[in-house]
């Protein structure tokens, strides 16, 4: 039996069940733990290849119905998504009042992002793109603050515009090729015409919204900053894998075609702008969660740039960095969530936490070094690959920008670490901290993610070996002169 559809169907079924368990907190808690374990198992027992829903398949040379494509590269992404979702669900169970809506929305978001990564038909991808946009706004609403409501509402309003434009782009591509299946569409998209140009442009609009690239970077950063820390970890994971899923579709359809050259440059420019804007804005923040939120935008720029290069090495480096990023950034958001239990997230009002939580401080420091690209952590490995990919296509200036942005990341991260853990505080504040506990389930999740930062940093091949075949299939080797 092929369990591939269960990666999407199972969390959707569980989301419905969880929604029916309103008020039954113990049942929600136990079922959530079981669900989290199953989410991690499903990607390993699913078969590679195409899966056609409802008995459809290839009819007269055309693919009919909804189709999923599963391969080792997609497995690496789905496994990471499952792991982060499971750890976030477990961390959320540490809240005194467990909210079944949190579990419901998280599972719906997981299913939607998994479907975007797996989908081989572009309309199915669009449907789940819409769902994950609504889910993200819903998860922010759960914070229950006025600022969270505003951030979520702003995201939904812009989402209506961006998603509508994306749907129009899909309509253009359908009108030009006669199919919604991505593999089939590739075969009929070789001839350039204004409809296909328009379709590509509008797909890029959807990409920038879903991934939080300029001009949507501030809206996305606000979304992360207004959520609870463990929810922010999930939101930024959704964004990175939506970015990967949509970029794979764009590369699969257009990479290597003559008229893709200009779009190529636009995508690279958007990635570089996100890198620079994100780190500059992070350096200006005095709120820890906002600082992390803008770094999530900056790191998304690395991912977009690597994928936009369009070479096999660039694609491997981009997907690898997306995987690394969601691991260490989730660790950082969970660390912020643990710290918020002691004293909020205003950097100027925190300090002196190192003696009270040395193990948490050590794990957070590891995650900070990972995001800064310091060896031997995982962030170094993928940033090194990204710089190599830029050099390979004769774009050394992009490699230089990546290095400068990493230095800015390191400075802001060390500044935040000093202000939270090392800055001296008075005795009264320390006593106040001691009277407040820490969420133990979040500390467990932080430990797992930190361990992965080290393991993948030392053995990057355990991830990259899964990516090369698909990257060679999608990528085009070239060198600018």
Per-residue pLDDT tens over the stretch 179-230: 999 988 988 887 668 888 899 999 999 999 999 999 999 999 999 999 988 9
* Residue 179 φ/ψ region, left for φ over 0, alpha for ψ in the -120 to 50 degree band, beta for the rest: beta
Cβ atoms of 57 and 63 within 8 Å: the answer is yes
Cβ atoms of 87 and 70 within 8 Å: the answer is no
Torsion over CA of 333, 386, 458 and 297, rounded to 10 degrees? 0
Q: From the centroid of its chain, how far is CA 131?
A: 16
DSSP state of 47: P
Domain that holds residue 227: 5-474
Task: Flag whether pLDDT at 173 surpasses 90.
Answer: yes
Is 413 domain-assigned? Answer: yes
Give the range among 21-30, 240-249, 381-390, 465-474 with minimum mean pLDDT.
21-30
DSSP state of 52: E
Element (H, E) at 99: none
Is 480 domain-assigned? Answer: no
pLDDT band at 98 (very low <50, low <70, confident <90, very high): low
Angle at 377 between CA 394 and CA 381, to 5 degrees: 20
Q: Sign (positive/negative) of CA torsion 263, 77, 213, 451? A: negative
Percent of the chain with pLDDT over 70: 99
pLDDT at position 481:
77
Q: pLDDT, tens digit, for every residue of 108-159?
A: 999 999 999 999 999 999 999 999 999 999 999 988 889 999 999 999 999 8
pLDDT at position 96:
64
Task: Flag whether pLDDT at 97 surpasses 60.
Answer: no
pLDDT band at 442 (very low <50, low <70, confident <90, very high): very high
Distance from C-alpha of 425 to C-alpha of 418, rounded to nearest angstrom: 12
Element (H, E) at 436: none
pLDDT at position 245:
96
The overall longest dimension of the chain from CA atoms, in Å, is: 78
What helix, strand, coil percent values describe the chain, rounded to 5? 75, 5, 20
Is 391 domain-assigned? Answer: yes
Give the burial class of 17: count Cβ atoms within 10 A of its Cβ; 0-12 exposed, 13-18 middle, 19 or more buried: middle
Mean pLDDT of the chain: 92
Give exposure, 190-222, as e/b (b: 16+ Cβ within 10 Å).
eeeeebbebbbebbbbbbbbbbbbbebbbbbbb
pLDDT at position 188:
83
Look at residue 447 and give its three-state secondary structure: helix
Measured CA to CA in angstroms, residue 181 lies from 39, 213, 242 at distances of 27, 26, 18
Task: Flag whether pLDDT at 250 surpasses 90.
Answer: yes
Is 328 domain-assigned? Answer: yes
What token pair was written down for 58?
């290839």
Cβ atoms of 286 and 220 within 8 Å: the answer is no
Is 479 domain-assigned? Answer: no
Is 481 domain-assigned? Answer: no
Long-range contacts of 458-461 (CB under 8 A, 24+ apart): 458/376, 460/320, 460/378, 460/381, 460/382
Number of separate domains in the chain:
1
Angle at 325 between CA 319 and CA 329, to 5 degrees: 160
Cβ–Cβ contacts within 10 Å for residue 164, how many?
Answer: 14
Query: Cβ neighbours of residue 109 under 8 Å, at least 6 residues apart?
Result: 131, 132, 135, 136, 139, 234, 238
Is 352 domain-assigned? Answer: yes
Measured CA to CA in angstroms, residue 326 lies from 72, 83, 453 at distances of 19, 10, 10
pLDDT band at 436 (very low <50, low <70, confident <90, very high): confident
> Is the bond leading into 457 cis (omega within 30 degrees of zero)?
no
Task: Flag whether pLDDT at 66 surpasses 90.
Answer: no
Cβ–Cβ contacts within 10 Å for residue 144, how many?
Answer: 10
Is 414 domain-assigned? Answer: yes
């Amino acid at each position: 039996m092929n369990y591939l559809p269960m990666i999407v169907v199972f969390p959707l079924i569980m989301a419905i069940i969880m929604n029916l368990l309103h008020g039954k907190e113990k049942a929600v808690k136990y079922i959530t733990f079981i669900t989290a374990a199953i989410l991690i198992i499903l990607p390993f027992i699913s078969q590679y290849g195409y899966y056609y829903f409802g008995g459809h398949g290839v009819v007269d040379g055309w693919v009919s119905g909804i189709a999923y494509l599963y391969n080792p590269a997609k497995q690496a992404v789905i496994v990471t998504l499952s792991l982060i979702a499971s750890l976030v669900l477990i961390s959320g169970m540490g809240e005194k009042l467990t909210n079944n809506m949190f579990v419901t929305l998280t599972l719906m978001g997981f299913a939607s992002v998994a479907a975007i990564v797996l989908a081989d038909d572009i309309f199915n991808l669009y449907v789940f793109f819409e769902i994950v946009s609504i889910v993200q706004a819903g998860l922010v609403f759960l914070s229950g603050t006025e600022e969270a409501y505003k951030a979520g509402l702003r995201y939904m309003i812009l989402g209506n515009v961006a998603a509508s434009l994306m749907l129009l782009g899909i309509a253009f591509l359908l009108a030009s090729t006669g199919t919604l299946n991505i593999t089939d569409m590739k075969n009929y998209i070789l001839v350039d015409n204004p409809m296909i140009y328009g379709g590509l442009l509008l797909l890029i609009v959807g990409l920038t919204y879903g991934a939080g690239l300029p001009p949507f970077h501030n809206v996305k950063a606000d979304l992360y900053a207004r959520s609870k820390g463990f929810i922010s970890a999930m939101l930024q994971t959704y964004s990175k894998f939506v970015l990967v899923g949509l970029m794979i579709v764009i590369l699969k359809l257009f990479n290597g075609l003559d008229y893709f050259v200009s779009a190529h440059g636009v995508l690279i420019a958007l990635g570089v702008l996100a890198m620079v804007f994100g780190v500059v804005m992070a350096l200006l923040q005095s709120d820890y969660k906002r600082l992390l939120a803008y770094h999530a935008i900056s790191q998304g720029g690395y991912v977009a740039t690597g994928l936009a290069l369009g070479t096999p090495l660039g694609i491997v480096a981009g997907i690898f960095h997306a995987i690394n990023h969601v691991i260490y950034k989730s660790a950082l958001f969970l660390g912020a969530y643990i710290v918020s239990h002691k004293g909020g997230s205003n950097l100027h009002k925190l300090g002196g936490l190192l003696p009270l939580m040395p193990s948490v401080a050590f794990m957070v420091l590891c995650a900070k070094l990972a995001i800064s690209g310091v060896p031997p952590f995982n962030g170094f490995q993928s940033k090194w690959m990204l710089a190599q990919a830029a050099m390979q296509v004769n774009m050394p200036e992009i490699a230089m920008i990546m290095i400068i942005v990493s230095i800015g990341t390191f400075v802001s991260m060390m500044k935040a670490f000093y202000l939270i853990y090392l800055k001296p505080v008075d005795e009264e504040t320390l006593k106040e901290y001691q009277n407040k506990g820490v969420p133990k389930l979040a500390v467990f999740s932080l430990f797992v993610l930190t361990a992965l930062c080290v393991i993948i940093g030392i053995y990057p091949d355990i991830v990259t070996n899964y990516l090369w075949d698909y990257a060679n299939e999608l990528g085009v080797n070239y060198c600018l002169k």
